């Protein structure tokens, strides 16, 4: 976030913080969530690069289109195992999987946290860890 925008929001009474702070995640929960979302993003990117629809990918992995949509959104009901198996079914190598899940050297945690989803995917993550938004609100 640009410093000017942050200053403007804080001046208007908004609290600005990280996803970890907002959701009340431990370091382990944050790492798990980042891993899952990185795999989900990669699955969608690979499917789109291959020119496949969600329905075609579902047929390839013997699942349903709605399940593929949940996988790509990082839904809490989707296992890491299913994400990895789906990437492998689309031709990902072990080396490519390692690149997806390994943080790159020199990237601060705050940069990676900014790449977490917003909207419905973030709300899904909150429900996963707190059963709801944990009583938190986006309002000031």
With a pLDDT cut of 70, the percent of the chain lying above it is 73
Distance CA 10, CA 17 (A): 11
What burial letters (b/e) apply to 105-124, b meaning 16+ CB within 10 Å?
Answer: eeeeeeebbeebbeeebbeb
For residue 39, which of 90, 105, 3 has the smallest C-alpha distance? 90
Q: Residue 57: which residues within 8 A CB-CB, separation 6 or more?
A: 47, 68, 86, 90
pTM for the predicted model, two decimal places? 0.66
Instruction: Tell me the pLDDT of the chain averaged across its residues.
Output: 80
Show me where the domains of the chain are located. 25-124
**Tell me: the pLDDT tens digits for 39-95?**
999 999 999 999 999 999 999 999 999 999 999 999 999 999 999 999 999 999 999
DSSP reduced 3-state for 79: coil
Q: What is the mean pLDDT of residues 18-47?
A: 91
- 40, two tokens: 């989900």
pLDDT for the residue 132: 43
> With 90 as the cut, is the pLDDT of residue 22 above it?
no
Under CATH, domain 25-124 is a member of which superfamily? lambda repressor-like DNA-binding domains (1.10.260.40)
Distance CA 100, CA 131 (A): 28
């Amino acid at each position: 976030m640009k410093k000017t925008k942050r200053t403007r929001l804080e001046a208007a009474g908004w609290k600005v913080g990280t996803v970890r702070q907002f959701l009340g995640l431990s370091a382990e929960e944050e790492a798990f969530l980042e891993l899952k979302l990185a795999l989900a993003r990669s699955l969608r990117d690979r499917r789109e690069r291959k020119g496949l629809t969600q329905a075609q990918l579902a047929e390839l992995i013997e699942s349903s289109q709605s399940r593929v949509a949940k996988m790509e959104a990082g839904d809490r009901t989707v296992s890491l195992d299913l994400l990895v198996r789906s990437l492998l079914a689309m031709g990902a190598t072990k080396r490519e999987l390692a690149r997806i899940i390994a943080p790159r050297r020199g990237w601060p945690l705050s940069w990676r946290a900014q790449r977490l989803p917003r909207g419905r995917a973030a709300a899904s993550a909150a429900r996963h860890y707190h059963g709801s938004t944990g009583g938190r609100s986006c309002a000031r």
